[in-house]
């Protein structure tokens, strides 16, 4: 089971959705993205993993000023996002949107943005998950407790080293023309500039 936690940690933390194969048949006439437009809570639908018999849901919260972003992914031990297992949170501040729009290789109109990492945390929601993390010294830590957030910023977990506090997070964002959902970039497919080259298909709704 700890193997699944490792895999889920990597994929959920990276905000992975259902892949990045978006339609390229036409140009997406997305709306202009502003901090004021982003302010508020955007929630993805429950995403199930039939192989692991788990599910997850991610919530993005942009502060009233639009300068801060908190991305929280809750993982569940069932396929319907009911029983919480563990929670990952990535907190960013000093978010800056580029003024001009650009296109991805998928022909989607997006804006680039950067922000500073303020923290990355993992919180086991059950004693069994906390015990698994403790027994495996996950991320080199042994102080895992159910219901307690533990910072993993700057730590190496398995084969991945995560951003440290004050590191720059580079990403892209798209909003549809009706302004009903947003998508973020596939940060596992980054260009030499550090920005993702493609978008995930996962949609976040207000």
Write down the residue that tokens 């036409």 correspond to.
26
Write out the two tokens for 175: 């909003």
CB 163 within 8 A of CB 155: no
Please say if the pLDDT value at position 20 is more than 50: no
Q: Among 160, 150, 194, 143, which residue's Cα sits nearest to residue 9?
A: 160
How confident is residue 25, by pLDDT bands cut at 50, 70 and 90? very low
Handedness of CA 205, 199, 71, 137 (dihedral sign): positive
Lowest mean pLDDT among 65-74, 144-153, 154-163: 154-163
pLDDT of 49 reads 87
Residue 29 has a pLDDT of 55
> Using alpha carbons only, what angle is made at residue 71 by residues 43 and 202, rounded to the nearest 5 degrees?
50
Give the mean pLDDT of 140-165: 93
Which element (helix H / strand E) includes 2?
A: helix 2-13
Cα separation, 25 vs 57, in Å, equals 29
For residue 192, the model assigns a pLDDT of 87
Q: Which of 1-10, 32-41, 115-124, 154-163 has the highest mean pLDDT?
A: 115-124
Residue 143 has pLDDT above 60, yes or no: yes
Q: What is the pLDDT of residue 12?
A: 47
pLDDT in the model for residue 108: 83
């Amino acid at each position: 089971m700890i193997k699944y936690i490792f895999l889920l940690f990597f994929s959920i933390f990276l905000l992975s959705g259902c892949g990045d194969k978006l339609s390229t048949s036409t140009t997406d006439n997305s709306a202009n993205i502003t901090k004021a437009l982003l302010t508020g809570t955007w929630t993805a639908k429950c995403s199930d993993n039939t192989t692991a018999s788990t599910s997850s849901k991610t919530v993005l919260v942009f502060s009233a000023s639009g300068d801060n972003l908190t991305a929280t992914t809750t993982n569940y031990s069932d396929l319907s996002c009911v029983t919480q297992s563990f929670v990952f949170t990535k907190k960013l501040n000093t978010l800056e949107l580029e003024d001009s729009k650009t296109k991805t290789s998928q022909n989607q109109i997006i804006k680039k943005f950067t922000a500073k990492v303020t923290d990355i945390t993992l919180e086991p929601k059950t004693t069994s998950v906390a015990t698994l993390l403790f027994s495996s010294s996950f991320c080199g830590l042994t102080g895992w407790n159910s219901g307690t957030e533990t910072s993993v910023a700057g730590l190496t977990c398995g084969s991945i080293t995560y951003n440290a506090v004050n590191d720059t997070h580079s990403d892209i964002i798209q909003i549809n023309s009706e302004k009903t959902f947003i998508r973020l970039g596939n940060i596992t497919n980054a260009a030499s500039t550090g920005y993702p080259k493609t978008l995930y298909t996962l949609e976040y709704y207000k």
